[in-house]
Amino acid sequence: MQIERPQSPSRPALHEPRNPGLPLDMDWVRRVQANTSAIERRAATLPGRRSVKKDHQAAWLLKAISLIDLTTLAGDDTENRVRRLCAKAKQPASPDLLDQLGMTGLTVGAVCVYHDMVPAAVAALRGTQIPVAAVSTGFPAGLSPFHLRIAEIGESVAAGAREIDIVISRRHVLTGNWQALYDEMREMRAACGEAHVKAILATGELGTLRNVARASLVCMMAGADFIKTSTGKESVNATLPVTLTMIRTIRDYHDATGVRVGYKPAGGISKAKDALTYLSMIKDELGDRWLQPDLFRFGASSLLGDIERQLEHHVTGAYSASWRHPMA
């Protein structure tokens, strides 16, 4: 398999038009089903279906770096930690290593932080094209009063966040109240203004793959620019069956409307080999256009360190110690 190397900052970045959404179509929602056994069988074959080696593997891993939302969402986050993370975002691998790989200008896709850390991240990334993403709307549970969730979005945008990762109310999915989910998502999307909105479904708490598919569709109808698996705080986060379900719903939405919606798996993706599996699945199911930062992201923190180790092994033939690749 071939893959295009990431674009350098000197080349204009691709920017997909915003998803305008459409009126809630309950007939379409009710038609959505998910054959769980077939999806799980297909997902089980994915890790062994693609084998990329040597220079091709290095190119895929460089691409993966450009698609990472480098994330810190800890209770003990400080502004200094965020500034160090932003430095890593701007220089995600050592210059010597990138020189040997023939890569210049490589950065991650975004830096994702809590609302209070947005000003520090924005200041640290000033002068770059790296956007700041803020988790919002009572992350991770999404159970704070609705007017406060909307206000939180507005404050994050005012502080300079260019992307907002919102969490949906899982109870709307579990009770089949699709109108309430649509209305909630629509209002959150409006509060984001020009900032792109990623709808976090918390798929590990939705019960069934059919619920995952229907929630994905409703959020896209309401104008979500991305749909995202998880907060990273649930007991089950991104999985291959969930990803297959969500990206096929994205494909169906694109076939019906012509609108491309992005996808972000988050939580539990920490190994380079896992990133390769996800990228090959996106290429197979959605095509090369989705292998760009405006349509695909990894929500990850430790993934970058393992990718660096694999790239260093490719160049030197030896694995480096993990402490040689700190995140912050």
Catalytic residue numbers? Answer: 165, 228, 264
Question: Residues near 99 by Cβ (< 8 Å), separated by ≥ 6?
Answer: none
Rounded CA separation 141/164 (Å): 16
* List of long-range contacts for 171-179, beta carbons under 8 Å, 24+ apart: 173/201, 173/206, 173/207, 173/211, 173/214, 173/215, 174/206, 174/207, 174/211, 178/24, 178/26, 178/29, 178/214, 178/218, 179/24
Q: How far apart are the first and last CA of the chain?
A: 33
Please list the residues that pair with 49 across neighbouring strands: none
Output the CA torsion sign for 100, 103, 104, 106. Answer: negative
Buried/exposed 95-107: b ≥16 CB within 10 Å, e otherwise: eebbeebebeebb
Asked if 196 contacts 162 with a C-beta cutoff of 8 angstroms, the reply is yes
CA separation, residue 27 to residues 24, 178, 206, 217, 324 (Å): 9, 12, 21, 12, 54
